[in-house]
Amino acid sequence: MESFLYPDQYHHIEQQLYRSVSAQANSIDQGVIQAVQELAQEEIERTVRLASPEQKQLLANLSAIQDQEDMRRFLQQLKQYVIPFPIVSDKQLEKAFPKIKKLHTPAIDELDRKEMVYWRWVDKGSGKTCILIPKKEGKFTGIEGYQELSQQKGVCSICNGLEEVSLFTVKKKGQMRGMYSKKGNYICKNPEICNKNLTNIDSLYAFVDTLNA
């Protein structure tokens, strides 16, 4: 079977399974457990379009997953069907971040690309935080800005999770030539946590839209 899950869908399944397993660990009421399990199954079937019988089969019997260990094993097996964040060429990177002269990116092959809905790193040369977002047709959107070092508990504008966040500021072209304005949003300090919290890539696109508004 070919890979068919995007990282955000994988995270969504993980989140639903976690809920189901937590209910089984914390409740003795079989009715409650069953309700949570059914809801998890429905949520997954609603958001992940399962095209082939094999795909359906793979995610058909989630109530058999009863504890953390079952969940870990199942997710490990499921991960082989996740479509990883694409390998990006230097040309694509230059196109996404035209204002940064000499881009320094971490080695992408050392990252777990199946966990990545988007890619974020701090560019060593400019000190800027770069966010690379995959779009359809193999294109990318690049967002660059500065992220403050100080952090606090708050809601992240990308993943909507309640996490340690810090202010991320981007410079925006104003309506008049040569004029700029700044726009700040609180986002997760840790990009790995942020990616894990992203269970629907639309939240990421919504974040991009607010920056462009």
Q: What is the largest CA-CA distance in the chain?
A: 65
Q: Which residues bind Zn ion (CB under 5 A)?
A: 156, 158-159, 188, 194
Closest to Zn ion by CB, 25 or 155:
155
Q: How far apart, in whole angstroms, are the C-alpha atoms of residue 98 and residue 82?
A: 30
Closest to Zn ion by CB, 62 or 120:
120
Nearest distance in Å: CB 32, Zn ion: 30
Nearest distance in Å: CB 201, Zn ion: 13
Q: How far apart, in whole angstroms, are the C-alpha atoms of residue 66 and residue 118?
A: 31
Nearest distance in Å: CB 163, Zn ion: 6
Secondary structure (H, E, C), 139-173: CEEEEEEEECCCCEEEECCCCCCEEEEEEEEEEEE
Nearest distance in Å: CB 13, Zn ion: 19
Bridge partners of 171? 182
Query: Helix or strand or coil: residue 184?
Result: strand
111 CB contacts (<8 Å, ≥6 apart)? 85, 119
Closest to Zn ion by CB, 40 or 158:
158
* Contact in structure between 44 and 16 (CB atoms under 8 Å): yes
Closest to Zn ion by CB, 93 or 188:
188
Closest to Zn ion by CB, 131 or 188:
188
**DSSP strand pairing (129-134 vs 140-147):** antiparallel
Closest to Zn ion by CB, 39 or 211:
211
Nearest distance in Å: CB 193, Zn ion: 7
* Contact in structure between 147 and 122 (CB atoms under 8 Å): yes
Nearest distance in Å: CB 88, Zn ion: 21
Q: How far apart, in whole angstroms, are the C-alpha atoms of residue 11 and residue 149?
A: 27
